[in-house]
Amino acid sequence: MGIRDNAVLAGKVCLLAIFVLVGLTVLGCAGIRSAPEGGSGGTIADGTLFLCPALKQSGGFGCSAPATEGKLLAVNTSDGSRLWEVSLETAKPASGGFGCAPAATPVAVYGMPAVAEELVYVAGYNGKIYALSSTSGALRWVYPREGNLGPIISGVVAALGKVYFGCSDGKVYALDAATGDKQWEFATGDKIWSTPAIDGDTLYIGSFDKKLYALSATDGSKKWEFEAEGAIASTPLVYNNMVYIGSFDRHLYAVGASDGKVRWQFLAEKWFWGRPVAYNNTIYAGCFDRRVYALDAQNGGKLAEFDLGSPVYSWPVLVDGKVIIASEEGKVYALDASNNQPGLLADVEEAIYAPLCASDGVVYIYSQGKNLHALNVASGAKLWSLTTK
Amino acid sequence: MGIGDIWNLIAMQPMINTLIVLTNYLFNNFGLAIIALTIIINGLMLYLTLKQIYASKAMQTLQPKLMELQKKYAKDKQRLAQEQMRLYKESGVSPAGCLLPLVVQMPIWIALYQSIMRVMAVIPENLLGLSKYLYSWPVVYSTLPLNNEFLWLNLAVGDTFLALLVGGTMWVQQKMVMTPAADPRQQTQSNMMLWMMPIMFAFFTLSFPSGLALFWVTSNVIRIGIQYFVTGWGGLVKSTPKKQVVRDRKYKQRIAQVEQAPSGGADIVVPSSTQEEGLDYEDSGSKRQDRGGGYPKSPRAIRRQPRRGGGHRRKRG
């Protein structure tokens, strides 16, 4: 074979490789991510907003792995300035065979941080819980100290001297808030993505095994369980001795907090993802079917519904008698709870997935564009924006 | 409505919802659902697949003739092209016949591939995106999210064994299709492709969810089965050189006849050899009407040909 033939052959092989790569990636997985990006909602304590920004996606063929980093950011709520930011520990990959090490597990964070007793708690997708100083960001403890749990999508709840969270390994964990020592664990039948809710001594949490569990917050013993028709990934709301929770079966359930008996269920066109809010005996729940439903808290009767034009992923918040809710396409609405009339508050023009948070008449919105926006609820004016890229 | 919406409406939504429903009825096993849907899709496209295989086979039978023409008109490219076109026309074989069914099948494979990637939805972002594709069937919502465990596999992450299986089955399938080329350069290139493609796919499979690899392996196994049904083991079993030589001699004779034709053109007249080749011509030469390209009317004739001519299929008993 001459040089020319070799060159032709090499060209053909290169062309084939390019064809396969383009076929597999551009055509195949455009818009489909296989790596977690995260991006939690904010938690506010003493004028500081704690937030874990979404990860940067590194380049690649559309199915790229993200940059293996993750951080906790403390922001001054009055002016949007950064108080501090710390990188969360990056998982060290074990070396693989043939000199190929597997990719490090990125520290994406989906759940909102929790703050209690000078500590801020963060649950990482890498299967670790971090406790950091809320004033300096210094790391106090990590659980587990060695190895990792399964990926954690759930947020953390800090109460009664403990830290509670659910894990994709199907277990609910309770850790000592000061030391990170495990107090108890409770195994469910499937993955847990739901963030727990605490009311008194009872912890409520949903699981992919289609059940809502009521557990003793003290020792993790089961009080009751309620089985829905679909998996549960949303976070429960406890209000007036009732637990309200959405399921993949498209129902919003109202379950007695004391006995686990279903009181009513409301069927929508798609499923409920975020935690609803309650005000004046009305439940406001955003749904993937683009609507927000206002339901009677006692009997589930539909009082009103609003079409926001795109699915509602983020959790609504209550500010001064107004329900603030954001649609996926970036429009932020204020529903006047007194007459159930909606009004457009702002359009941030970026996708919104993360739960909203509010304090002192200001709502804080973290967008998938990796920007944190502060909006005055009364006027709709944008107070400041902070980019976290 | 944009092209993306149309694509979602006619391809993605039906496939995604079918996958979820199949998972529900197959014991909530997503791995079985992938295998079942791959079989169903292959079944629906069997006609196109067979057409493509028959067309490829017909093209292969013309290779010796094409080689002769290439040698003969090596210095006259225009004449070569004319003679090749004439040969295709006379033989009732269309080069596009190999490609067209493949092109038609491509969007369906891409949709199936995308559906598997979407339905696995191992991270929240993908699960949020998946909701846009779902029909309002209760069974769909009660089945989600899917369990990604199948045998020893986590269908959401890559698997080395499955990657090797993808490469292995792809190699077998290609080897079956491959026929020995008379030109050593062409043979070298074919050998290179035979190894490069499976190695590349195996390598890519490592970085893709194994649910996708399961789809590839199933597809390859089905294609191997269909290929065996049509052509036997093909290139996997060595053909008898003697018969090949006899056949080549006959092609040379035919080419010689063409050269001696008084019109000066390459009016290939093949009164008996077409039957020998298994191509069902009722007429021959210039008397036969142009059927507008395509492939032989009766593919069975081609299927039988290796037994008589090359003995590719292993004798039983």
What pLDDT, in 10s, does the model give residues A55-69? 876 544 444 455 557
Is residue B87 predicted with pLDDT exceeding 70?
A: yes
Burial of B125 (0-12, 13-18, 19+ CB in 10 A): buried
- Cβ A1–B185 below 8 Å, yes or no? yes
Task: Note the pLDDT tens digit of each residue in A300-326.
Answer: 999 999 999 999 999 999 999 899 999
Q: Do B142 and A248 touch (CB under 8 A)?
A: yes
Residue B291 has pLDDT above 60, yes or no: no
Q: What pLDDT score was predicted for residue A101?
A: 45
Specify whether the CB–CB gap between A61 and A131 falls below 8 A.
no
Facing B131 at nearest CB: one of A110, A230, A311: A311
Integer Cα distance of A61 and A161 in angstroms = 46
What pLDDT score does B287 carry?
A: 40
pLDDT tens profile B271-286: 444 444 444 433 444 4
pLDDT mean across residues, chain B: 74
Q: What distance in Å separates residue B172's CA from the closest CA in chain A?
A: 19
Greater pLDDT, B13 or B179: B13
Interface of chain A toward chain B, CB-CB under 8 angstroms: 1, 5, 9, 12-13, 16-17, 20-21, 24, 27-29, 31-37, 63, 110, 153, 190-191, 193, 208, 229-231, 233, 248-250, 269-271, 273, 288, 311, 313, 353
Looking at domain A277-389, its CATH class is mainly beta
Which among A6, A34, A40 is the top mutation candidate for probing chain B, defined by the most B β-carbons within 10 Å of its own β-carbon?
A34
Residue whose entry in the numeric block shows the structure tokens 């949709």 = B111
The reported pLDDT for the residue numbered B207 is 78
Please, are residues A208 and A271 in contact by the beta-carbon 8 Å criterion?
Answer: no
Does A188-267 match A277-389 in CATH topology?
no
Position with higher pLDDT, B210 vs A362? A362
The verdict on a CB contact (< 8 Å) between A32 and B118 is yes
Q: How many other C-beta atoms lie within 10 A of the C-beta of residue A389?
A: 8
Tens digit of each residue's pLDDT (9 = 90 or more) over A179-213: 999 999 999 999 999 999 999 999 999 999 999 99
B114, B122, B123 member nearest A28 (Cβ): B114
CB A80 within 8 A of CB A70: no
Mean pLDDT within A6-31: 55
| Closest partner CB to B141 (pick from A9, A33, A249) | A249
Hey, are the CB atoms on A16 and B145 less than 8 Å from each other? no
pLDDT digits (tens, 9 = 90+) for B58-74: 777 777 787 788 888 87
Q: Is B314 exposed, middle or buried (0-12, 13-18, 19+ CB in 10 A)?
A: exposed
Per-residue model confidence as pLDDT tens digits over A337-388: 888 888 999 999 999 999 999 999 999 999 989 999 999 999 989 999 999 8
In angstroms, the CA A233 to CA A206 distance is 6
DSSP class of residue A161? T
Contact B142 A230 (CB under 8 A): yes
Per-residue pLDDT at A282: 95
Q: How confident is the model at residue A160 (pLDDT cuts 50, 70, 90)?
A: very high
CATH for A188-267, among 2.40.10.480, 3.30.230.10, 3.40.190.10, 3.40.50.970?
2.40.10.480
The single residue listed with the structure tokens 């924006």 is A385
Structure tokens belonging to residue B235: 């290139």
Residues of B in contact with A16 (CB under 8 A): 193, 196-197, 200
Query: B interface toward A at CB cutoff 8 Å?
Result: 110, 113-114, 117-118, 122-129, 131-132, 134, 136, 138, 141-142, 144-145, 147, 156, 185, 188-189, 192-193, 196-197, 200-201, 204, 207-209
Domain spans of chain A? 36-55+67-90+105-162+174-184, 188-267, 277-389
A36-55+67-90+105-162+174-184: what fold?
A: Lipocalin (2.40.128)
Does the distance separating the beta carbons of B197 and A33 come in below 8 Å? no
Work out the minimum CA distance from A288 to partner chain B, whole angstroms: 7
B96 pLDDT above the threshold of 90: no
Is A13 a residue whose pLDDT tops 80? no
Q: Does the pLDDT of residue A252 top 90, yes or no?
A: yes
Whether A139 and A193 have beta carbons less than 8 Å apart is answered as: no
Residue A8: is its pLDDT beyond 70?
no
The predicted pLDDT at position A68 comes to 55
DSSP secondary-structure letter at A95? P
CA nearest A14 in B: which residue? B196
The closest CB to that of A12, out of B117, B132, B189, belongs to B189
Residues of A in contact with B183 (CB under 8 A): none
Region of A260 (left: φ > 0; alpha: ψ -120 to 50; beta: rest) is left
Rounded to the nearest integer, the mean pLDDT of chain A is 87
Per-residue pLDDT, B257:
64
The residue of chain A nearest to residue B185, with distances taken between CA atoms, is A1
Least Cα distance to B135 among B4, B222, B12 occurs for: B12
How close B30 gets to chain A, by Cα (Å)? 15
Averaged over A5-28, what is the pLDDT?
A: 55
What residues in B contact A13, CB-CB < 8 Å? Answer: 192-193, 196
- Euclidean distance between CA atoms A319 and A277, whole angstroms: 11
In this predicted model, which residue has the larger pLDDT, A284 or B267?
A284
β-strand pairing of A43-45 with A322-326:
unpaired
Question: Average pLDDT, stretch A96-124?
Answer: 76
Cβ partners under 8 Å of residue A49, min gap 6: A42, A43, A74, A75, A76, A77, A357, A364, A372
> What Å distances lie between residue A347 and A47, A160, A321, B211, B271, CA to CA?
25, 39, 21, 39, 78
